[in-house]
Chains A and B, each alone.
Chain A
Amino acid sequence: MSFFKVSTSVVALLAASTFAASARDQLQISGSSTVLPYATIVAEAFGENTDFNTPVVEGGGSGAGRKKLCEGVGETTIDIANSSSRIKQSDIDLCNTNGVTELMEVRIGYDGIVFASSIEGGDFALTPADVWGALAAQTVKDGALVANAAKTWADVNATLPAQDIMAFIPGTKHGTREVFDVKVLEEGCKAAGAYDLYLAASAGADDDAKKKDAVEGCHALRADGASVDIDGDYTETLSRIEANKTAVGVFGLSFYENNTDKLKVATVNGVTPSVETISAGDYPVSRPLYFYVKKAHIGVIPGLKEYIEFFVSDDMAGPGGSLVDYGLVPDPDLAATQAAVAAETVMGPLE
């Protein structure tokens, strides 16, 4: 092992001695694949309009990005983690262990999650209860939980097309799945009255345990092939829908807006998803998007603070900005975010 260490050290030393002067002069960003297109648009414009280098932006997923951010402080670690869900206490603990004590939380806007089907299929006007009724493992019949026997959407709700139920939903590794679980399945489960039935049937010791059981029951999906988890990205969902014209898929709003010639969007509770309806709060299935900044790198890596300010500027994330043009739902509280960024406000403990 020592020979091995010595030889790698020699390589590293050689590298360091020859190129020691070349400190990192571009930002390293990693994380959510939902935020990735927005981050690349900003990075590109940032490189074009400033004297700084274009930041290097990586995908890989929200959780992976936050973990990388928390690896430590220094030039070989990343500066910003993009995230489509809020940071978790476990991430913050990891950060603290590795000496990353000060993080800045920047909310860049909202992302709508839409249901869309092939442009050649029927029209869908969904409610969370319909989606839950079609996809859940068990549904309510005569006040009791029974195995889901619905074959077509019309079986679930007579106003829906009589197409076979086939839904492509994000796999469990996606941040989008969490939002789908909470905002669609749980809502639908409660609306159908199944949540109370699960609660009553639970053998949990206390109220918390019972609630946990009920939520798990609501999240359980049928395993007969009507609901398919997609672990890839939206392009995979799209190609599955092109092959299966009667299926319904879950997409991000911006992806749908770039493929409106192939996809037809479903309304949820009668509201058509759009930048306007989501920012007004009418469309129910949306989530905030964030990025997390390692404050210790501000002033060390050139361009870091300028990049954050550029990202939340009105030209980018504001209404009518470049990102909104691409499908980001602007944050009504953007001015507060801009002020927090200017003051380099560090995020407090999670509530």
Chain B
Amino acid sequence: MTDRASNSRASLFVQDPRTKARNATEKRFRIYGLSAIITALLALVWLLISIFGNGLPAFKQTFITFPVTLEESVLDKAGNRNIAEMSKTTTVGYGKLLAKSLAAEIAARSIDLGELDPKELAKMISEESSATLRDRVLADPSLIGQTLDITVLASGRIDGYFKGRVTLESAAIDKNTSPEQLLLADKLKAAGVMTVQLNSGFVTMPDASDKRPEAAGLGVAIIGSIYMMLVVLFLALPIGVAASVYLEEFAPKNRWTDLIEVNIANLAAVPSIVYGILGLAIFINFAGLPQSAPIVGGLVLTLLTLPRIIIPTRAALKAVPPSIRDAALGVGASRLQTVTHHVLPLAMPGVLTGTIIGLAQALGETAPLLLIGMVAFVRDFPGAPISGLFDPAAALPVQIYNWTQRGDPGFVERASGAIIVLLVFLIAMNAVAIYLRRKFERRW
């Protein structure tokens, strides 16, 4: 009774010690929660700043523009425009021609070379340029003899100089460039021969070797990723929806379906590398599909995505109220008609959202692709679908992984740029998913 008496003395306006303690605990808990969110946000901001800081320069590139005289004596010694004979002139020959033309342009504009060795001048032009020019000439031999104004890539170190990665001090101890090169680059920029422009090549050109980071692009990787997503979409969506509809609407509830249900949930949690091993064993070693091909990558990612599509699809089907089914059955529809005419259309927003989020997850997967030969240097673009699905290709996350392993510091920038492209794809896909959900969602 004494307890009660002391309690009853408490006023609503004066907190007793226990209430105070409880209130303080709640306050502390709120502070913990808030600081957790702030920590997470700071980590995200830091990540974004570092990625964008490193990666945005990849979207700009240094170019050199100068006239090139395509001399017949170098490019077509026989003078008969025979492609087979002309192709004997290798990229080395074209490289020399480019260097000579650049030297002539510098002389014509009376720019002082400084103490630069003429051999060093040739190294300021990317090796990629000679290959591009050679392809252009071989495609159209009538260009020979003409003087073309061409725009070519500057070498990676020169590009790094304008982006702040290379300085005069670092160039002095750098084996691949020299302060003289950089001083000339400054003069060329002032004269308008050298310009820093938007680099569309970063998303259209294929990967390049370690010697030319300036030419490396994401073209093949983007196409490879799109091909794989197409395979996943065309396989995982129908299979996933069919499996969910059967399990949800038709399957008898017994021990077997329980077992399947548990296993689908388990499969969604299996580490992705396991699917890579499975893919290697089944699709390459057993079925004999080619290595490094988007079809195999797509099939592996389909296996990976299936449970991730089935689970939200079943949830969406469950969310359709039984009254709809009862009404359809009541007016004489068959069970299949009930599902296809009523339940599935109503569940479709949920299904699509699940599919798109499943695809977005699959887009970022690297581990399963390691084992099926997709973590590779691929320079040729795959053909058009469907046969192109069987050509070798890279994928976006794989390209990032590859670039982080390269020796040239220029690839750090490329890798961060590729992360930005991957993030843009993921955000776009998630935005579509959110839009679909908002637009078509129905609540009962």
A contact residues vs B (CB 8 Å cutoff): 8-9, 11-12, 15-16, 18-19, 22, 24, 26, 28, 30, 33, 36-37, 39-41, 43-45, 47-49, 51, 53-54, 56-60, 71, 74-76, 78, 119, 233-235, 254-255, 257-261, 315, 322, 325-326
Contacts and interface: CB of A to CB of B under 8 A. Distances in A.
Contact of B380 (A47, A60, A235): A47
B210 A40 contact: yes
B377 A58 contact: yes
Contacts of B211: 41, 322, 325-326
B407 A258 contact: yes
A259 B409 contact: yes
A317 B285 CA distance: 35
A75 B295 CA distance: 16
- SS of B interface (majority): loop
B290 A40 contact: no
Given A40-B209, A41-B211, A58 B376 contact: yes
A9 B288 CA distance: 10
A54 B379 CA distance: 6
A36 B282 CA distance: 28
A233 B392 contact: no
Contact of B392 (A8, A26, A322): A26
Nearest to A264: B173
Nearest to B299: A11
B90 to A, nearest CB: 5
A76 B288 contact: yes
Nearest to B403: A235
A35 to B, nearest CB: 12
Given A33-B405, A37-B407, A78-B291, A8 B209 contact: no
A43 B209 contact: yes
A298 B287 CA distance: 24
Contacts of A258: 175-176, 210, 407-409
A265 to B, nearest CB: 11
B405 A59 contact: yes
A37 B406 contact: yes
B210 A43 contact: no
A16 B377 contact: no
Interface in B121-161: 131, 134-135
Contact of A37 (B175, B210, B290, B392): B210
B373 A30 contact: yes
Nearest to A16: B288
B377 A57 contact: yes
Interface residues of B, number: 49
Nearest to B169: A261
Contacts of B233: none
B309 to A, nearest CB: 19
B287 A233 contact: no
Given A12-B289, A19-B390, A322-B211, A40 B284 contact: no
A48 B131 contact: yes
Contacts of A322: 211
B68 to A, nearest CB: 18
A22 B407 contact: no
Contact of A28 (B131, B292, B407): B292
23 contacts: A37-B406, A40-B210, A47-B379, A48-B131, A48-B134, A51-B87, A53-B380, A56-B376, A56-B377, A57-B377, A58-B373, A58-B376, A59-B375, A59-B376, A60-B375, A76-B288, A76-B290, A78-B291, A258-B210, A259-B407, A261-B171, A315-B92, A322-B211
B210 A326 contact: yes
Given A36-B377, A43-B377, A255-B407, 8 more contacts: A8-B282, A19-B386, A37-B210, A47-B379, A49-B87, A49-B90, A58-B375, A258-B409
A36 B405 CA distance: 11
Given A8-B282, A48-B91, A76-B288, A43 B379 contact: yes
Nearest to A30: B373
Contacts of B377: 36, 39-40, 43, 56-58
B287 A15 contact: yes
**Which 4 A-B pairs have CB atoms at the shortest separation, nearest pair first?**
A12-B287, A261-B170, A54-B379, A58-B376
B287 A9 contact: yes
A28 B287 contact: no
A40 B176 CA distance: 19
Contacts of A36: 377
B71 interface: no
A8 B208 CA distance: 36
B378 A56 contact: yes
Given A15-B295, A44-B208, A260 B173 contact: yes
B444 interface: no
B286 interface: yes
A58 B372 CA distance: 11
Contacts of B209: 37, 40-41, 43-44
Nearest to B404: A235
Contacts of B284: 76
B377 to A, nearest CB: 4
A192 to B, nearest CB: 33
B174 interface: yes
B321 to A, nearest CB: 36
B323 interface: no
Interface string B66-101: 000000000000000000000100111000000000
A18 B211 CA distance: 39
B387 interface: yes
A235 B407 contact: yes
A49 B390 contact: no
Contacts of A11: 287, 299
B286 A8 contact: yes
A48 B376 CA distance: 18
A263 to B, nearest CB: 10
A259 B292 CA distance: 31
Nearest to A327: B407
A213 to B, nearest CB: 37
The residue among A16, A41, A43 with the most chain B CB atoms within 10 A of its own CB is: A41
Contacts of A8: 282-283, 286-287
A40 B208 CA distance: 8
The residue among A9, A30, A49, A74 with the most chain B CB atoms within 10 A of its own CB is: A49
Contacts of B299: 11
